[in-house]
Structure formats: C-alpha cells, structure tokens
Structure 1
C-alpha cells in the first residue's frame, strides 16, 4: 500500500528525516542543483492525457472478488503547476478525473488536522509536505461519481493515522451519506472469515445500492462502524518499497503468511517505483511510462500482472499505481479481466 503508514512502517525519526530531506530537496531545486519537476528541461512535465477503462460486460454478473481493478496510490496527492509539480505528489490528475477515467480504487492517508479542527485531512505523510484537502470533500467527490454512474462500484483504502479514534471517520461518512452507500459484510464473515467466494457480484451490489467498499489500515471497529472494514481481515498486499524494476514481488507481505501460501482473500499488488535523493524516497515520475507499461519486460505492469496471476491462480484484484495516466494501466486491467 504505502511506505508512509506511520502505524506500521516508519517511526518518529523517519518522519523528521522525511521532512528534513524534503526541505533540503526544495532548497537544492531552488538553487538550480536538480530538477524537482522531472521533465525534459521544461517547467511543465506535460503529463499524458488519461486513458479510459474498458469494462468487460460479462464480469458485471461476477463477484467483486473475481476481477481486477486499477487503483491510485495516494490518490489525493496531485502534482500540479500550482504547487510547482511537487515531488510529494503521486498523481497528475485529481480524484474526479481518476474516477471518470476508470480508476476504481482510491488509496489515501487520513491525518488529524494540524490546525486543530475535528476534520480529517488527506496528506502525503505529513500535512506540512502536502495537504490534499479534507476527507469530507474526497468522499463527496466519490458520491457525486456514484450518483452519475449508478452501475459502478468504488473501493476506498485509507492509511489511518488519526489520533482521535474512529468517530471522525464515522462523522465524515455520516455527513456525506456514504455510510448508506457502503457495503457491509455479514457479521459471521468478519475477522478474517470472508473468503473470495463470499463476496457479492457487482450486479448484486448495484441492485441494493451498496457500491462503496472501504478499508482502514488500522483502527477499524466493525461492531461500531461495520462499513469501515479492517483491511488485513479482507486483503493482503505485496511489498511496497520498490526502488528498482526487478524488485516487484507477488507474495503477501502484509500480513505475512508462511512460505509461499496465498490466502483466499482479496489481493492488492503494489506496483509503483521510488527514486531516491540523499536517502529521501519520492515517487519516480521519470520512469512512470515504463513502470505502467502493458508489456512483458521486467519492471512493467504487464509483466508483474501476469506473474501474479500465475502465482495466485486467479486474477489479482487491485493494482496500485502512481501516475495512472502514464503507460497503459487500463490495457493491463482489460487483459486481466478479458481472459
């Protein structure tokens, strides 16, 4: 999912190291030492226009767990001309464009508001680096998309670093009405009992208008808020700290399982690449067109997808990518779902 999960991956020292490195990078950039904007000698990286999802109609009657969806890593953290194409951004286009283009899983990080309000902010690791707005606005964007696309299902995945517990999450869902649109597993299928064959079909979810599936990385209490699901009871993820094209793996990394066992749960395949400067890792935009390519070369999404499909003996459920508009991510999704 994300190396910036404060609850499981980084300690306080790492947070200050990240912040220090970010400031240092900005100073070097402003002095002309390196190019923050990762472009061809231009202030504008000219991001490619997003492609479009190619749905496979036959899968409408298949289970949610039987198909592949493209997801965006740190979906709300967007590089724009207004923020100087910030290297804290993982995408070039906002969540509304992502959804219209075909992204069906949105991953983001929820933080307590540093200004002291009760609202949850979506920030990239630290709100001083990039504050991408409120959770409520994010959920309203999703709700608007669902209202205008009544046959679609959207998955939300949040890294939860909120200090105030679950109530701010519940309030945001209540205020936006997204709690009423959320899928709730049967009580006897919680706590790791939900297997792939237990998920409903897309058609069934649409028929009852339960078209949002939300996972929290930590802090979930399904007795209190049954629509906010404990990620690790339903999903496993592959390794995420990838800095070289030959490091992509398919084995479950979180949670870990003995040997090469593949559990009967939803699979999230992390496929994004980091660059590094003075020990500071940041999203590698320069290589994104290759990272997200549909080909069969090492490091390309197409190769990684086929390898994981073979290892799982079924379709991987989610591919989490940076800069979704680069490369051919929807061609990969279509290839997984069509065959």
Structure 2
C-alpha cells in the first residue's frame, strides 16, 4: 500500500517538475493527505458592528473577508485539502463576514452556468454563481441595513454570463454603481458613499471582477484594480505577510488612494503543491500582535496606509479571533 502511494507521489512529482511555474492551489484529490484527520472546527464567532461607522463612508472601515468562500471542507468530502473554509457562505454572512471572495469557472460540461470552483472544478466545485448570488440576495433581503461585497475571480467565463446571473437573481437592482466620472481609476477613498446612503438607496451590494469587466456594458461589475490594490497572496511562512501593494503591478512603491485588500492566509505545501494551512489557522487568525497573527498584520497595514485597511481576507474564518480584529480596527 505505502509503496504504491510512494510510487504515485514520485511519478506526480516528476511530472510537476516539468512545469515552469508551480501551481498555487490544493493538492490533487488523490494526494489529499490530511494534516488533521478530524479537525473539529470551532463554531463561528459573531461580528459586533461599531455604530458610529454606520454614518461613515464605505471606504472608511474594515471588513472581514473569506478567501475562496465556497470551497468548504466537510466530513462529507473527507475534509478535503481543496477547501478554504469549514462553513458555507450563508453561515459566513450570518456570523459577520461581509466580503466574499470566490473563483468563477466555465462549466466543465459546456453549459453557460458559471461554476464556483477552487483552482479546478474537478477538485472542488462549490456550486453555481446563481446559487452564490441567491444566498447573498437572501441575506440582504433579511438584513436591510447590511452591506455585502463580492470579489469575483474570473477564470474564463464571458462577461454576459456573469451579468445574467445578477439579472436572474435581482442583484443588479441592489448593486452599487459609481458615478460615470469615478470609473476608470478615478474613484478615490473619499468618493465612496456612506453606509447610510447605500442603505437608503438600497444599493447594498458592491461587486468586483478581477478580469473581463466592462463597466460601459455592465456597470455593476466593477473592474477590481480600478478601485483597489492587493497585498501579496502566496504566503508560505508567517514572516511573509506584507502590507505593500502587490497588484496591480503598476502601483509598486507607493500607497494609492484606493480601497485596500490585505491577503492574510497561510499555505502549507506538499511536494511543491500549496494548500490552505488549517493546522496553523488559530494563530494565523489570532487577534494578537505576534508575527503572523492577523491583529499584528492589520495594525501594521493601518500604520503604513494611514487609514484602516478595508478588507482582511482569511481562510477558516471561524478559527482565531477575526471579528475581534475587525472590531479593533473599526472602533479606534
């Protein structure tokens, strides 16, 4: 048995060595050796809003986000290493997550339906875009004072398929659309509306698309890097969490007056393949000020940006103390 596994691993490593760029993604399912056979995930905590921020701009506060939010590890999939979270999007939103990040792929069967997969649909299919949007719509309908942000990674589907899902679920009507003179990189942090304004106009969903957006055709799908910057996201060691802008490439060396997305999730690796590090999540998502903890990273970024970081993107949001970090950022 072990000899067979060893031989399979050896063959796979030989094949992987022929690829110039090592994939950033989970192990293939047949290599899904668990770092924790029975993880016993903590029950999610809850968000405590800061009332004063209800009258502040959307761009003036910090929100916890879930990385690959639809890629869920469960006992049913044997706690697959392809999963980045333990609880589904409905639970994430009810707990207090307000920034949902997910990848959209073409349907492997050739249908027009966008599939929300992690890295590859054969490894982890988290359902359709319609299903994700329906979950968000239900939450917004039930919570009329809440704002949700979607960060959608486009791995191929055409813009019209993205737009269709919004039209079908009615979220196009609830989506925030910037003024025409604030598109194409002209939107500064001071140009965003307050939460009160977004609630009163019922424009309570902000949606970003990393590639393929065209706001002249679909004005509610905002081109990500016209509005925000991101920190680096390939982190293999707790000492590597950075606050410096990494994307888009043309803003290296300064902090632009845009929204900020701080990537704070740690990878483990096996034979050169990266996968979400669940074993260390309680520390990675900790509210303390030690190296590698979310609290330390958030404070450091706030100091560099001279304003609150807007989105703190994490794996396994229920582990650690992510909502304590969010509250700390917003209360002071």
CA–CA distance in 1 between the matches of 2:109 and 2:40? 34
TM-score (norm 2): 0.92
1:180 alignment partner, SS class = helix
| Mapped contact 1:120–1:162 kept (Cα < 8 A) | no
Please state how far the C-alpha of 1:18 moved relative to its aligned partner.
7.1
Q: 2:278 aligns to what?
A: 285
1:225 corresponds, among 199, 218, 221, to: 218
1:185-264 matches, cutoff 5 A: 185-257=178-250, 260-264=253-257
1:25 aligns with 2:47: no
Deviations 1:81-135 (A, max 9, x none): 1111000000000000000000000000000000111100000011000000000
2:154 corresponds, among 149, 152, 160, to: 160
CA–CA distance in 2 between the matches of 1:19 and 1:294? 27
Q: 1:68 aligns to what?
A: 62
Please state how far the C-alpha of 1:261 moved relative to its aligned partner.
1.0
1:257-276 matches, cutoff 5 A: 257=250, 260-276=253-269
Please state how far the C-alpha of 1:15 moved relative to its aligned partner.
9.2
2:317 corresponds, among 321, 324, 336, to: 324
Distance change >3 Å, CA 140–CA 46, structure 1 → 2: same
CA–CA distance in 2 between the matches of 1:57 and 1:77? 32
2:173 alignment partner, SS class = coil
Q: 1:8 aligns to what?
A: none
TM-score (norm 1): 0.90
Q: Where in structure 1 do 4 or more consecutive aligned residues deviate above 2 Å? A: 12-21, 256-260
CA–CA distance in 1 between the matches of 2:265 and 2:276? 8
What CA RMSD, in Å, does the superposition of the two structures yield over aligned residues?
Answer: 1.7
1:125 aligns with 2:131: no
| Mapped contact 1:293–1:327 kept (Cα < 8 A) | yes
| Mapped contact 2:153–2:210 kept (Cα < 8 A) | yes
Please state how far the C-alpha of 1:287 moved relative to its aligned partner.
0.1
Deviations 1:244-298 (A, max 9, x none): 0000000110013556310000000000000000000000000000000000100
1:137 aligns with 2:131: yes
Q: Structure 2 stretches of 5 or more lacking a match?
A: 1-17
Q: Aligned pairs, how many?
A: 315
Please state how far the C-alpha of 1:154 moved relative to its aligned partner.
0.1
2:136 alignment partner, SS class = helix
2:72 corresponds, among 49, 58, 78, to: 78
Q: 1:32 aligns to what?
A: none
